[in-house]
Structures are given as C-alpha cells and as structure tokens.
C-alpha cells in the first residue's frame, strides 16, 4: 500500500525501508517495523475447521531533514491506513482484513545521524486485524 501511493513515493527520495535503513539512504525516507502480530486460533465446532486471527501492530515513521517535511508526509501515510481495511483486504491473499486504524503517535525529538547532520522523525502506530479460515 505504501509503495503504490504515487503522492507519497514521489516525495520519498530515500524510499521505504523495513526495520533499518542504510547509511546512504537519502532524506526523507520511510521506515516501518512490525511491532507484534499475535495469532489467535478458534478451532471451531465439529465439521468446522475454525479460523486464525492476527492482530498486528506496525510502527511507520518518516525521517526527514526538516520538521515541516516530516509533518507534511505523515498525513499521506495516515490517509492510506486509516479506515483502509477494504483496500488492504484486496492486497492480502488468503486473509480478510477487517480492521485498520492509527492507534498511537511516535513523536521523537531532533536527532543527529552518523555524519552529525540534523534529522527529525515523525511516526504513528497502526493496528491491522485479519482473519483467515483454517484449512
């Protein structure tokens, strides 16, 4: 969903990274991390194999040289994921996405990178719930 957003991708000079970015990543860039994804299983009744439910949390952050740049890019991410269960459902094979919301904010202060250059990070935590039949 992130990579398919032309307005977002056109402004991310450093691209999208999972977990960590390379030191050569250009600002601004996006960083996402799966925080947790516990799985619940309902074994169903006789003749019904039940379901498997995943309630995942993802932290998504924008890292930029200027605070205003990060503050302007984060709403593009919000727009993609807030109430986006139906849109995500089309992208997730074998599962049904039934909940997707921003559930927290990740404010961080200004930092310095390895080259002692200033950058700012703005982010949010999103919760995505899926369910799938057990075959």
End-to-end CA distance of the chain: 27
The answer for 15, left when phi > 0, alpha when psi is -120 to 50, beta otherwise, is left
**pLDDT value of position 109:** 67
pTM of the prediction? 0.85
Per the DSSP assignment, residues forming a β-bridge with 99 are 129
Give how far Cα 123 sits from Cα of 6, 47, 61, Å: 19, 45, 4
**pLDDT value of position 23:** 77
Per-residue pLDDT tens for 42-84? 876 666 778 999 999 999 999 999 999 999 999 999 998 877 8
Domain ranges for the chain, please list them. Answer: 6-133
Per-residue pLDDT tens for 93-133? 888 999 999 999 987 767 887 778 888 999 999 999 999 98
- What's the per-residue H, E or C state across 46-68? CCCCCEEEEEEEEEEEEEECCHH
**pLDDT value of position 30:** 95
- pLDDT average, residue stretch 22-50: 85
Per the DSSP assignment, residues forming a β-bridge with 31 are 17, 61
pLDDT of 24 over the 70 cut: yes
**pLDDT value of position 46:** 62
Could you give the CA distance from residue 33 to residue 58 in angstroms, rounded to a whole number?
Answer: 6
Q: Which band of pLDDT confidence, cut at 50, 70 and 90, is reported for residue 32? A: very high
Domain 6-133 has CATH 3.30.2000: yes
Number of H helices, E strands in the chain: 3, 7
């Amino acid at each position: 969903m992130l990579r398919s957003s032309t307005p977002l991708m056109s402004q991310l000079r450093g691209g999208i990274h999972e977990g960590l970015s390379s030191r050569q990543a250009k600002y601004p860039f996006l960083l996402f991390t799966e925080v947790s994804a516990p799985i619940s299983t309902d074994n169903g009744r006789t003749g019904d194999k039940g379901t498997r439910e995943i309630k995942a949390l993802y932290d998504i952050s924008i890292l930029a040289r200027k605070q205003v740049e990060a503050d302007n890019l984060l709403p593009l991410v919000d727009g993609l994921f807030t109430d986006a269960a139906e849109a995500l459902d089309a992208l997730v094979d074998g599962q049904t996405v039934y909940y997707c919301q921003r559930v927290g904010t990740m404010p961080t202060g200004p930092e310095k990178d390895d080259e002692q250059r200033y950058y700012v990070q703005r982010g949010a935590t999103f919760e995505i719930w899926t369910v799938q039949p057990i075959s």
